[in-house]
Amino acid sequence: VNTSGLSSKLAINKYNLDEDHPHIIVNEEICRAVCEDLACLNVCPAGVYSEQNGKIIIDWAGCLECATCQVACPSEALHWVYPRGGFGVIYRYG
Amino acid sequence: MDEKFDAIIVGAGMAGNAAAYQLAKAGLQVVLIERGPNPGSKNLSGGVLYGRSLERLMPDFWQTAPVERAVTNHIISFISGEAYFNVDFKTGIFGRAPYNGFTVLRARFDRWMASRAEDAGAMLVTGIKVEKLLREGNRVAGVVAGEDELRADVVIAADGAAAFIPQEAGLRERIPAGHIAMGIKEVIGLPREVIEDRFHLAGNEGTAYSIVGFATQGVAGGGFLYTNLDTLSIGLVINLEELLASRLRPEAILDDFMSHPMVTPLIKGGKPLEFGAHLVPEGGTQMMPRLVSGGMLVVGDAAGLTVNNGFSVRGMDLAIESGIAAAEAVVEAKSKQDFSAAGLSIYEKKMEKSNVMADMHTYARAARFLKKERLYHAYPEFLSSLMTNIYRQDASPKMHLLPELMKSLKTSKLSLFDLVRDGWEGVHSL
């Protein structure tokens, strides 16, 4: 996946990053046991999800908070909540 | 904070702000809770704000509201690989008060609208997320927000398309992918004069493009391009079920769309300012949750209130209308001190009688019509081939329009039957 264009898109956004408080947690056991299509890898517009050595890696800092992954995840393996109040993406235009 | 409010509103978007303003004006104690640092900082506009519902709430709002441009030019564009066919409509009527609709940027607009609600007496709390609902027996009795427990007679769920609050309340199921779309957009900066020259605009006039066909590489959905004062909003709304089936990356589809020959000259020289994504409800009446339960009402995107008929994508005006109806229902429920599901069902009745539900019913079949694969492949190619043949002068003799049309139809993947049936269905569903 070529995400270099994506990183430059995300770089222009404003975020208030909540260090040490990930708002997305993946249940690897459900992923491995039941998920065949790994929809999260392709569908996330911010490229938050990647796969390394069979594990789902979550780079939640760039999350646009659309919640698409949460709807798309066929196995409901994602625990996805909004970031804590005041944190996350801050749209200056919208 | 252990005082009890008349109403707690979760989310300071169009619906939440409208409800807060109306309730505060009626003298009720209302708290409006927004998880973003400011109202609007989590919100994206993917449409035009049609003005009638907001005008009902705030007459002449355009005189003080941070609207971008009054939309006078509506363009529908059918695009194929390297051709496009535009239907370009402009009327001066839409450029004069009371104006038909405006382009808006939500970070500015929602902040203004929330401040109007504050001026009317609503309490605005920002940077605080509602964690969960409080219950008493089988009714909703308040929320846990940050560290605090807040209680109220009614909680209004205005938390947007992902609708976590209505799901927690048991008013809606998990949203199926077929009932929702991904909106993905960029905001691009350009000097005001460039925008006005490029899009044939005078003063505060604005253009709204609705783009069908190869915009989404054959995936059900469409593109949009709106002129703001000194920025453009450009993006796609893609049905999630179809996006998943395609295995395409959404930002890659957006990049291809932005490099289409119809689009590139329009955004040329622009400076990317922001990239965002948001869910867009598009399941119509099929996806609507129950709107009322004991102590709770659901409004706006959280209630699935959007209309897309291909010409116009509406959600913000429906959200405002539902916020007003919810507020009126709460005022009536308060006069009877009955906040049970039965007491609050006035909201459902008001909605059923409103233009919102009338339009939801009118366009109930539009979403299914707009999922036809032919709209995204065969029709744009057919139009492109037909127009090419009409204008092309070569060694072969010219034909009248009807045989020309039949020839293009023959080389396309469409049958005359498709054309007639889709035409018939189209004029009845859109």
**What pLDDT score does B377 carry?**
85
Which residues of chain B make contact with A88, given a CB cutoff of 8 A? 42
Asked if the C-beta of A45 comes within 8 angstroms of chain B's C-beta atoms, the answer is yes
Q: Name the least confident of A83-87, B2-6, B306-310.
A: B2-6
Across the interface, of A39, A45, A88, the residue whose CB is closest to B277 is: A45
pLDDT in tens, B15-63: 999 999 999 999 999 999 999 999 999 999 988 999 999 999 999 999 9
**For residue A29, is pLDDT > 70?**
yes
Encoded tokens for A64:
């646009």
Q: What value does the mean pLDDT of chain B take?
A: 95
pLDDT in tens, B217-233: 888 889 999 999 999 99
**What pLDDT score does B106 carry?**
98
Asked if the C-beta of B37 comes within 8 angstroms of chain A's C-beta atoms, the answer is yes
B344 Cα to chain A: minimum distance (Å): 29
A19 Cα to chain B: minimum distance (Å): 16
- Region for B221 from its dihedrals, namely left if φ exceeds 0, alpha if ψ lies in -120 to 50, beta otherwise: left
**For residue A3, is pLDDT > 70?**
no
B207 Cα to chain A: minimum distance (Å): 18
| Residue of chain B with shortest Cα separation from A49 | B249
ipTM confidence score: 0.95
**What pLDDT score does A4 carry?**
64
Computed over its alpha carbons, how large is the radius of gyration of chain B?
23
**What pLDDT score does A5 carry?**
87
Asked if the C-beta of B120 comes within 8 angstroms of chain A's C-beta atoms, the answer is no
Question: What are the C-alpha distances in Å from B135 to residues A90, B7, B22, B152?
Answer: 31, 15, 25, 11
pLDDT in tens, B194-211: 999 999 999 999 999 999
Q: Name the least confident of B158-172, B208-222, B228-242, B280-294.
A: B208-222
Q: What is the mean pLDDT of residues A47-64?
A: 94
Q: What is the mean pLDDT of residues B381-389?
A: 92
Encoded tokens for B429:
């569903």
pLDDT in tens, B362-373: 998 888 888 888
- Residue A37's pLDDT band, with cuts at 50, 70 and 90, is confident
Which tops the pLDDT comparison, B284 or B334?
B334
**What pLDDT score does B31 carry?**
98
**For residue B70, is pLDDT > 80?**
yes
**For residue B72, is pLDDT > 50?**
yes
- Region for B269 from its dihedrals, namely left if φ exceeds 0, alpha if ψ lies in -120 to 50, beta otherwise: left
Residues 127-186 of B with CB under 8 A from A: 127-129, 145-146, 161-162, 164, 174-175, 177, 180, 182-184, 186
**For residue A1, is pLDDT > 50?**
no
**For residue B265, is pLDDT > 70?**
yes
Which residues of chain A make contact with B127, given a CB cutoff of 8 A? 85-86
At residue A69's C-alpha, the angle toward residues A66 and A74, to 5°, is 150
Quick check: B319 and B15 in contact, CB under 8 A?
Answer: yes
